[in-house]
């Protein structure tokens, strides 16, 4: 019988190997932005390597693997299409200028290894939800799948609406406040959080998998308070006319009707 520590060790080793490979490619290509594309793929890798080792309830294992794979592959594919061929992201260019020749080794610890650690913590429901053999997927698991579906809808539709908006020449410098973006300034981030709360609910039904709520909490805090909403909105107001007014009337995260002017 596979133990939780064994599963977590497998996941940790897989993530470390992935990040070393990704970092090596980034050094060769001089583009640390690859870490953004690798982010979603890393969770897919965790889901599959754990599934290969774990012997928990087969229904729950495959539900977690399939849902994680759909989310991770969609996200990485979207980011690859958006980012590849456009040069290194401004965040990493700024770090490269600041650290100079030291940037490659510093980026390994502050970019790749750090994201690997976060990936390990966030993926706890995918890891631990595959360990226990009982019970079968039940009501809580179905609720989790429904929450996951809501999250995927917000994330995918939000990304599509934003890409469509940006593709129109008349949208340059304007604020996207249509569709889902009318109800939340970051439907994709809200959707991402729902994805992980849904997976955590599925995992929690196994008992041990309830520890995975730590992953959902960490992901939500990152999106809402650290690398998501807060970081993006530090500069966007300077680049988008009317964004300050958009902030006043629109929820930053959880969707709700816009405030009246």
Long-range pairs, 164-172, Cβ under 8 A, ≥24: none
In contact, 195 and 144? CB cutoff 8 Å = no
pLDDT attached to residue 42: 98
Q: Considering only CA atoms, which of 226, 215, 205 is closest in space to residue 46?
A: 215
Distances from the Cα of 174 to the Cαs of 106, 114, 123, 178, in angstroms? Answer: 36, 34, 36, 12
Mapped to the 3 state alphabet, what secondary structure does the chain carry?
A: CCCHHHHHHHHHHHHHHHHHHHHHHHHHHCCCCHHHHHHHHHHHHHHHHHHHHCCCCHHHHHHHHHHHHHHHHHHHHHHHHHHCCCCCCHHHHHHHHHHHHHHHHHHHHHHHHHHHHHHHHHCHHHHHCCCCCCCCCCHHHHHHHHHHHHHHHHHHHHHHHHHHHHCCHHHCCCCCCCHHHHCCCCHHHHHHHHHHHHHHHHHHCCCHHHHHHHHHHHHHHHHHHHCCHHHHCCCHHHHCCCHHHHHHHCCCCCCCCCCCC
Q: Report how far residue 113's alpha carbon sits from residue 9's, in angstroms, rounded to the nearest whole number.
A: 16
Q: Where are the domains of the chain?
A: 4-249
Report pLDDT for 174.
86
85 with 54: CB under 8 angstroms? Answer: no
Largest CA distance in the chain: 60
Other residues' Cβ atoms within 10 Å of the Cβ of residue 156: 18
Find the helix packing angle between 187-204 and 139-166, rounded to 10°. 160
> For each of the chain's 261 residues, which pLDDT tens digit applies?
789 999 999 999 999 999 999 999 999 999 999 999 999 999 999 999 999 999 999 999 999 999 999 999 999 999 999 888 888 988 899 999 999 999 999 999 999 999 999 999 999 999 999 999 989 999 999 999 999 999 999 999 999 999 999 899 988 888 899 999 999 999 999 999 999 999 999 999 999 999 999 999 999 999 998 887 877 777 776 677 778 888 889 999 999 999 875
Q: Is the pTM of this model over 0.75?
A: yes
Distance of alpha carbon 79 from alpha carbon 39, whole angstroms: 10
235 phi, psi to nearest 5 deg: -120, -15
Quote the Cα angle for 8-121-130, to 5°: 45
Q: 158 to each of 19, 85, 150, how far by Cα in Å?
A: 28, 23, 12
């Amino acid at each position: 019988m596979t133990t939780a520590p064994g599963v977590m060790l497998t996941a940790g080793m897989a993530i470390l190997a992935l990040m070393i490979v990704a970092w090596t490619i980034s050094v060769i290509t001089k583009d640390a932005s690859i870490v953004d594309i690798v982010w979603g793929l890393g969770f897919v890798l965790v889901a599959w390597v754990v599934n290969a080792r774990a012997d928990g309830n087969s229904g729950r294992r495959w539900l977690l693997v399939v849902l994680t794979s759909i989310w991770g592959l969609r996200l990485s594919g979207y980011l690859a299409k958006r980012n590849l061929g456009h040069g290194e992201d401004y965040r990493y260019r700024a770090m490269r200028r600041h650290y100079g020749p030291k940037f490659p080794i510093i980026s390994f610890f502050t970019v790749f290894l750090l994201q690997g650690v976060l990936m390990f913590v966030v993926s706890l429901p995918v890891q631990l939800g595959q360990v226990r053999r009982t019970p079968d997927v039940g009501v809580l698991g179905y609720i989790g799948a429904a929450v996951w579906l809501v999250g995927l809808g917000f994330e995918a539709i939000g990304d599509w609406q934003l890409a469509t908006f940006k593709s129109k020449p008349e949208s340059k410098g304007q604020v996207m406040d249509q569709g889902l973006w009318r109800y939340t300034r970051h439907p994709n981030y809200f959707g991402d959080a729902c994805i992980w709360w849904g997976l955590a609910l599925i995992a929690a039904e196994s008992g041990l998998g309830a520890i995975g709520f730590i992953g959902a909490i960490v992901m939500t805090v990152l999106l809402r308070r650290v690398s998501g909403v807060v970081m993006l909105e530090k500069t966007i107001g300077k680049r988008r006319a009317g964004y300050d007014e958009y902030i006043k009337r629109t929820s930053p995260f959880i969707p709700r009707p816009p405030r009246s002017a």
